[in-house]
Amino acid sequence: MLKVTIDNHTIEVEEGTTILQAARLIGGAVVPPAMCYYSKLKESGGKCRTCLVKVAQGSARDPRPMPKLVASCRTLVADGMVVQNITSPEVLDTRKAIVEFLLINHPLDCPVCDQAGECQLQDLSYDNGREGTRFEEAKRTFKVVDIGDKIQLHMNRCILCYRCVYTANQLTDKRSHGILYRGDVAEISTYIQNDITNDFSGNMIDVCPVGALTDKSFRFKNRVWFLKPMNASRSCSKCSGKVTAWLRGEEIYRVTGRKDQFDEVEEFICNECRFDKKELTDWTIESPRNIQRASVISQNHYLKAKNPSVILPLENRTVSMEDFDKEINNELYS
Amino acid sequence: MERKILLKHLDVPGIRTFGVFRSTGGYRSVEHALKNMTPDEVVEEVKESGLRGRGGAGFPAGMKWSFIDRKSNKPRYLICNADESEPGTFKDRYLMEKIPHLLIEGMICSCYALGANTGYIYVRGEYKYIIGILNEAIREAYDHGFLGKNILGSNYNLDIHVHSGAGAYICGEETALIESLEGKRGNPRIKPPFPAVVGLYGCPTVVNNVETLANIGFIVNHGGSEFARYGMGKSTGTKLISACGNINNPGVYEIELGLSVREFLYDPKYCGGIKNGKELKAVIAGGSSVPILPANLILQTAAGAERLMTYESLAEGGFVSGTMLGSGGFIVYDEDACIVRNTWNLARFYHHESCGQCSPCREGTGWMENVLHRIENGHGRQKDIDLLVSIASKIEGNTICPLGDAAAWPVASAIRHFRHEFEEHVLHPERCGRNEIGKLENVES
Ligand SMILES: Cc1cc2nc3c(=O)[nH]c(=O)nc-3n(C[C@H](O)[C@H](O)[C@H](O)COP(=O)(O)O)c2cc1C
Ligand code: SF4
Ligand code: SF4
Ligand code: FES
């Protein structure tokens, strides 16, 4: 076992653990945000740079600090390593800059984006963004395209995390989804405008951290925070059949994978479960799904905290419905 | 006295052909290595020579070779990086065009030292005619038993393949190059693991620059210690410098490391001074990625010492008042050159060449280009100058590969040393009558 200290929390982890995984084991505010890494997708991570942390001590054997900030999702823990995330002003300052980079070309069209409310970029900006913008140029734009009849691609919103590419490569056998061109005109595309038709393509929607890949059958149907997430299951020959069904009243508005506190699905689900089973009778509804991540869908509102260093550990994050209502009323009527 | 290692026989007629090259002592090192030396002994000589990578970073070649995973029973590969796409750098092209066998000879010795049975030369796509020259040289080497099975009767086998790039600067970055060679999109890999452990097709791989490898023959023939007698201190050997810009004699020169910048710039043997009797304004000493220095700081260090063409002397003063030897692309600006316009031009290059994998480089390079474009075209404001500094500082050090740094340094250094010129552009854009050096036709502004 290796001992690692992250923001003054010390933990023992197995060899081969990354700094990010170790931080997730500690939990709470020391967990760096991860926009591209996805634990279920091989090779993911390293790209968005939101998870950069400072290694103040490389290891017990070689205590020198690492010269640059490192991507915590791709850097392995060494015994005696000391890491600073939210305790390092340099890390927070850099993260702020990374968020700014991610946003300069982003359309900021949250009001008409289906991802709003469960968007990792929204959460990231809320925690680490700057007020106002220093970018005055025209934003780059792409046309909206359909990738098959189930999924819509809004390339304007894409942060090029490559998660959907790895999903397409790793979950499905015929590879027709990838990235064209380079730099800031790079775009997600399917080979010669192919439709994506395989049984697991819908998972791209779940892995996409932003609203670049959205579920066409849910388009503009409802706001996610008006829906009630329920654990639901059915016996399915293609996948585990364990899903989250999003209900309003008696109606299932959409079906997704079951996401954990880091916004990763527990298991990938098949397209039949996702797109074709929208009747209550298709499912055994088990229990309300507790969305643990800090987002507007968790308790129907964001935590009031600007500086991530003062965000409470997760377990202290419950805000009662009464408090929430009070706050909203205060804001609206004061 | 001028001592040369690489271009000694440049003027011998027909040196491009095997026969003439051989008659000047070519391929002797292969005979010597295969008959009298173990692979480890070759590595030791290269370590002893102090030869540093000529592709830009200046990493000691022998040390890089010693990192190769010798416990792995996978095949090993040597890749020659001939992607040469850095603006201002055109030395490898010269070497391959004039004396291609020098590279092949060096590669055979290097492959032998590394235990590699396959070598690749990854050539910049635009160097189409060089691919023909290299293939011809390789064919001759096969015909004379220096490549193929049982080279010179030994039990050592080696094949060398030439592979053409497709026009992306980023494919010169060693891990992007490996991806590209594997037939994939040329995205740099996230390191570690380094190529010496997980390289081409997941096998231990060394990537070296053309010029680095071309030096190996000399080192095998004469010994590492003889090589180390060339040059100065830790900058051993000679260096090919491609000189361009506002000078009288643009071209490729082999200099012994340690020559003073002043001599290189003004001696008729080399650059021959500034064209049309103009004054020197600034120099980018090591290819477009390294910081630009104004005339006073390129000729002398901030401490007043003579600036020399060595890794150490050019770097003296760090990024505050120094620069880097880089890949040896020596770009000279005269008094009429507009620093703002030239900085914008470089920013446009890096924006165009970013692979787009990581956010700071993908977004930051375009942003810098936009802001510079605005200033150059008379729509800048004072705060834009600080904005540029801020963007550059947030790209630098935060990216997957060094292209991010390479995009940030030219902008940061131009503002550091020529802030007044940026400010002047903001206040009185109409007054700038200066030029872009090497301006191309059909470039929109
Ligand atoms: C964006 C980028 C482009 C590069 N282009 C080249 C190139 O064209 N030729 C080259 O030899 N090295 C290039 N390099 C450096 C290589 O990554 C690598 O360090 C070099 O080939 C190693 O050889 P050396 O140790 O012999 O110098 C480039 C690096 C970067 C980051
Ligand atoms: S479409 Fe979504 S998942 Fe795919 S690269 Fe873009 S942001 Fe990532
Ligand atoms: S620094 Fe630029 S070129 Fe290098 S990996 Fe990142 S985006 Fe690609
Ligand atoms: S999550 Fe680590 S770089 Fe994106």
B10 in a structural domain? no
**Does A207 share its domain with A253?**
no
More confident position, B170 or A149: B170
Contact between B362 and A160 using a beta-carbon 8 Å cutoff? yes
**Does A177 share its domain with A116?**
yes
Nearest CA distance, A136 vs chain B (angstrom): 9
**Nearest atom, ligand 2, residue A160 CA:** 5
Contact between A184 and B363 using a beta-carbon 8 Å cutoff? yes
pLDDT digits (tens, 9 = 90+) for A299-334: 544 444 334 343 434 444 344 444 544 544 444 443
**Does B359 share its domain with B319?**
no
**Does B199 share its domain with B247?**
no
B271: CATH: 3.10.20.600
Tell me how many domains chain B contains. 3
Beta strand extents in chain A (DSSP E only): 2-6, 9-13, 52-57, 70-71, 81-84, 144-147, 151-154, 177-180, 187-190, 213-215, 228-233, 242-248, 251-256, 284-288
Length of chain B: 445
Say yes or no: B368 contacts chain A, CB-CB below 8 A: no
Domain finish residue from B334, B353, B381:
B334
From B190, B399, B409, mutation site for ligand 3 pocket: most ligand atoms within 8 A of C-beta: B399
A284 in a structural domain? yes
Structure confidence at residue A9 (pLDDT): 96
Name chain B contacts of A50, Cβ cutoff 8 Å: 359
Contact between A182 and B358 using a beta-carbon 8 Å cutoff? no
- Min mean pLDDT across A20-34, A165-179, B121-135 is at A165-179
In angstroms, what is the span from residue B354 Cα to ligand 3's centroid? Answer: 6
> By residue range, what is the domain housing residue B293?
233-334
Name chain A contacts of B360, Cβ cutoff 8 Å: 49, 97-98, 101
What number of C-beta contacts closer than 8 Å exist between A and B? 88
**Does A189 share its domain with A201?**
yes
In angstroms, what is the span from residue A45 Cα to ligand 4's centroid? Answer: 5
Say yes or no: B152 contacts chain A, CB-CB below 8 A: no
Ligand that lies nearest to the alpha carbon of residue A36, given by its number in the listed order: 4
Say yes or no: B225 contacts chain A, CB-CB below 8 A: no
Q: What is the three-state SS of A37-66? A: CCCCCCCCCCCCCCCEEEEEECCCCCCCCC
Structure confidence at residue A298 (pLDDT): 56
Ligand that lies nearest to the alpha carbon of residue B408, given by its number in the listed order: 3
Domain finish residue from A220, A243, A263:
A220
Q: Which of B168, B366, B400 sits opposite A184 (nearest CB)?
A: B366
B111 in a structural domain? yes
A311 in a structural domain? no
From A210, A263, A264, mutation site for ligand 2 pocket: most ligand atoms within 8 A of C-beta: A210
**Does A184 share its domain with A201?**
yes
B377 in a structural domain? yes
For residue B320, count other CB atoms closer than 10 A to its CB.
11
Nearest CA distance, B394 vs chain A (angstrom): 6
The response to whether residue B358 sits with its C-beta less than 6 Å from ligand 3 reads yes
**Does A232 share its domain with A188?**
no
**Does A78 share its domain with A137?**
no
Contact between A184 and B399 using a beta-carbon 8 Å cutoff? no
**Does B421 share its domain with B434?**
yes
For residues B74 and B196, the answer to whether their CB atoms sit within 8 Å is no
Structure confidence at residue B432 (pLDDT): 82
B8 in a structural domain? no
A326 in a structural domain? no
A165: CATH: 3.30.70.20
Structure confidence at residue A172 (pLDDT): 78
B40-79 burial, b at 16+ Cβ within 10 Å, e below that, comes to eebbbbbbbbbbbbbbbebebbbebbeebbeeeeeebbbb
Contact between A68 and B397 using a beta-carbon 8 Å cutoff? yes
Contact between B356 and A184 using a beta-carbon 8 Å cutoff? yes
**Does A232 share its domain with A300?**
yes
**Does B309 share its domain with B390?**
no
Structure confidence at residue B412 (pLDDT): 98
CB-count burial class (<10 Å; 0-12, 13-18, 19+) for B98:
middle
Nearest CA distance, B373 vs chain A (angstrom): 11
Name chain B contacts of A179, Cβ cutoff 8 Å: 185, 356
Question: Would you say the pTM of this structure is higher than 0.90?
Answer: yes
Structure confidence at residue B249 (pLDDT): 97
Nearest CA distance, B125 vs chain A (angstrom): 17
**Does B288 share its domain with B429?**
no
**Does B309 share its domain with B197?**
no
Structure confidence at residue A132 (pLDDT): 86
Residue nearest to atom 3 of ligand 2 (CA): A208
**Does A14 share its domain with A40?**
yes
A159 in a structural domain? yes
**Nearest atom, ligand 3, residue B362 CA:** 7
Domain finish residue from A65, A94, A123:
A94
Of residues A291, A264, A293, the one with CA closest to residue A40: A264
**Nearest atom, ligand 3, residue B399 CA:** 1
pLDDT per residue as tens, chain B (445 positions):
589 999 999 999 999 999 999 999 999 999 999 999 999 999 999 999 999 999 999 999 999 999 998 888 999 999 999 999 999 999 999 999 999 999 999 999 999 999 999 999 999 999 999 999 999 999 999 999 999 999 999 999 999 999 999 999 999 999 999 999 999 999 999 999 999 999 999 999 999 999 999 999 999 999 999 999 999 999 999 999 999 999 999 999 999 999 999 999 999 999 999 999 999 999 999 999 999 999 999 999 999 999 999 999 999 999 999 999 999 999 999 999 999 999 999 999 999 999 999 999 999 999 999 999 999 999 999 999 999 999 999 999 999 999 999 999 999 999 999 999 999 999 998 888 777 665 544 444 4
The response to whether residue B404 sits with its C-beta less than 6 Å from ligand 3 reads yes
Distance of CA B58 to the CA centre of its chain: 9
Contact between A101 and B185 using a beta-carbon 8 Å cutoff? no
Tell me how many domains chain A contains. 3
A42 in a structural domain? yes
**Does A74 share its domain with A156?**
no
**Does A141 share its domain with A211?**
yes
B3 in a structural domain? no
Nearest CA distance, A261 vs chain B (angstrom): 24
**Does B168 share its domain with B238?**
no
pLDDT digits (tens, 9 = 90+) for A40-85: 999 999 999 999 999 999 999 999 999 999 999 999 999 999 999 9
B363: CATH: 1.20.1440.230
Nearest CA distance, A91 vs chain B (angstrom): 11
Domain finish residue from B334, B366, B398:
B334
Alpha-carbon distance B232 to B239, whole Å?
A: 12
**Does B149 share its domain with B254?**
no
B84: CATH: 3.40.50.11540
In angstroms, what is the span from residue B262 Cα to ligand 2's centroid? Answer: 52
**Does B174 share its domain with B302?**
no
A231 in a structural domain? yes
In angstroms, what is the span from residue B405 Cα to ligand 2's centroid? Answer: 25
Say yes or no: B353 contacts chain A, CB-CB below 8 A: yes
A303-326 burial, b at 16+ Cβ within 10 Å, e below that, comes to beeeebeebeebeebeeeeeeeee
Name chain A contacts of B352, Cβ cutoff 8 Å: 183
**CA B371, B380, A96, B413 torsion: positive or negative?**
positive
**Does B223 share its domain with B328?**
no
Say yes or no: B166 contacts chain A, CB-CB below 8 A: no
Residues 6 or more apart whose CB falls under 8 angstroms from that of B317 comprise B297, B301, B302, B303
Nearest CA distance, B146 vs chain A (angstrom): 40
- Partnered with residue A247 across adjacent β-strands are A228, A252
**Does B223 share its domain with B242?**
no
Domain finish residue from A72, A94, A116:
A94
A288 in a structural domain? yes
Structure confidence at residue B395 (pLDDT): 98
Structure confidence at residue B147 (pLDDT): 98
Q: What is the CB < 6 Å shell around ligand 4?
A: A 34-37, 45-51, 71, 73
**Does B278 share its domain with B424?**
no
A116 in a structural domain? yes
Interface of B with A in 399-418 (CB under 8 A): 399-400
Helices (H), chain A: 19-26, 89-104, 120-128, 163-171, 203-207, 271, 321-333
Domain finish residue from B228, B257, B290:
B228
From A37, A44, A68, A128, mutation site for ligand 4 pocket: most ligand atoms within 8 A of C-beta: A37
**Nearest atom, ligand 4, residue A73 CA:** 2
Which residue on chain B is closest to A66 by alpha carbon?
A: B397
Structure confidence at residue B1 (pLDDT): 55
**Does A269 share its domain with A184?**
no
**Does A138 share its domain with A204?**
yes
A27: CATH: 3.10.20.740
The torsion region of residue A145 among left (phi > 0), alpha (psi -120 to 50) and beta comes to: beta
> By residue range, what is the domain housing residue A77?
2-94
